[in-house]
């Protein structure tokens, strides 16, 4: 066989092999990957206060919610932490419209405080008692003092929104304006007693 023919056959085989190995299109992220993208901090530094982790049970509920609804999946995808504020706000709004309470609770673990505030407000409006245990866990993590002008202001808003949401859902009214870690801890104890009194 002529060398030029051997070379052409070799190139053809190589082309076929490369095409077979190359994916036809980028696979869509699965629900677990979407959760990771929404809760992993992509920029330098660490969150303070530290954010709670999703338990296996909680993650399963979020995965189920995402997997069972294309609308929830699309909304949750907008919470990818590498996206901008406009996408995050639209994602929270869409999750509220879908009444996706588990996905909204997962949004409390988003690295952006803005997303956390929007998620708290949405959960308060949805008024679903199933969200109380995780909001209480989140509240416990947030019941610290944050220093620094801008950071302190934002953290005061978070503590206020926690109180607003849990007061509305539980019917146990607590008023917190600005940072008040001690007041929040006292409120958490009252809301926890309410939670324990609920029928199982």
pLDDT at position 18 is 38
Mean of all residue pLDDT scores within the chain: 90
pLDDT at position 90 is 97
Q: What is the three-state SS of the chain?
A: CCHHHHHHHHHHHHHHHHHHHCCCCCCCCCHHHHHHHHHCCCCCCCCCCCCCCCCHHHHHHHHHHHHHCHHHHHHHHCCCCCCCHHHHHHHHHHHHHCCCHHHHHHHHHCCCHHHHHHHHHHHHHHCCHHHHHHHHHHHHHHCCCCCCHHHHHHHHHHHHHHHHHHHHHHCCCCCCCCCCHHHHHHHHHHHHHHHHHCCC
pLDDT at position 16 is 40
The model's pLDDT over 18-75, given as tens digits with 9 standing for 90+, comes to 344 444 345 789 999 999 999 999 999 999 999 999 999 999 999 999 999 999 999 9
pLDDT at position 24 is 39
CA dist., res. 92 & res. 126, Å (int): 12
Q: Which residues contact 146 (CB under 8 A, 6 or more apart)?
A: 48, 49, 152, 154, 155, 179
Q: Give the residue-averaged pLDDT of 3-10.
A: 46
The model's pLDDT over 161-191, given as tens digits with 9 standing for 90+, comes to 999 999 999 999 999 999 999 999 999 999 9
Q: Is 11's pLDDT higher than 70?
A: no
Task: Give first-to-last CA distance, the chain, whole Å.
Answer: 81
Q: Is 5's pLDDT higher than 50?
A: no
pLDDT at position 2 is 52
Q: Give the residue-averaged pLDDT of 107-125.
A: 98
Q: Is 10's pLDDT higher than 70?
A: no
pLDDT at position 80 is 97
């Amino acid at each position: 066989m002529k060398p030029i023919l051997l070379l052409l056959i070799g190139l053809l085989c190589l082309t076929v092999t490369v095409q077979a190995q190359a994916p036809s299109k980028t696979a869509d992220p699965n629900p677990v990957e979407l959760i990771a993208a929404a809760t992993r901090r992509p920029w330098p530094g660490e969150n303070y206060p530290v954010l709670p982790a999703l338990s296996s049970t909680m993650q399963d509920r979020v995965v189920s919610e995402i997997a069972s609804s294309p609308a929830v999946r699309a909304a949750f995808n907008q919470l990818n932490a590498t996206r901008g504020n406009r996408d995050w706000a639209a994602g929270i709004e869409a999750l509220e419209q879908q009444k996706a309470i588990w996905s909204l609770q997962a949004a409390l673990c988003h690295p952006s405080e803005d997303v956390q505030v929007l998620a708290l407000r949405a959960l308060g409006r949805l008024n679903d008692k199933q969200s109380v245990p995780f909001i209480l866990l989140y509240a416990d993590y947030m019941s610290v003092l944050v220093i620094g002008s801008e950071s302190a202001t934002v953290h005061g808003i978070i503590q206020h929104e926690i109180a607003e949401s849990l007061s509305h859902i539980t019917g146990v009214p607590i008023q917190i304006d600005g940072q008040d870690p001690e007041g929040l801890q006292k409120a958490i104890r009252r809301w926890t007693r309410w939670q324990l009194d609920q029928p199982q």
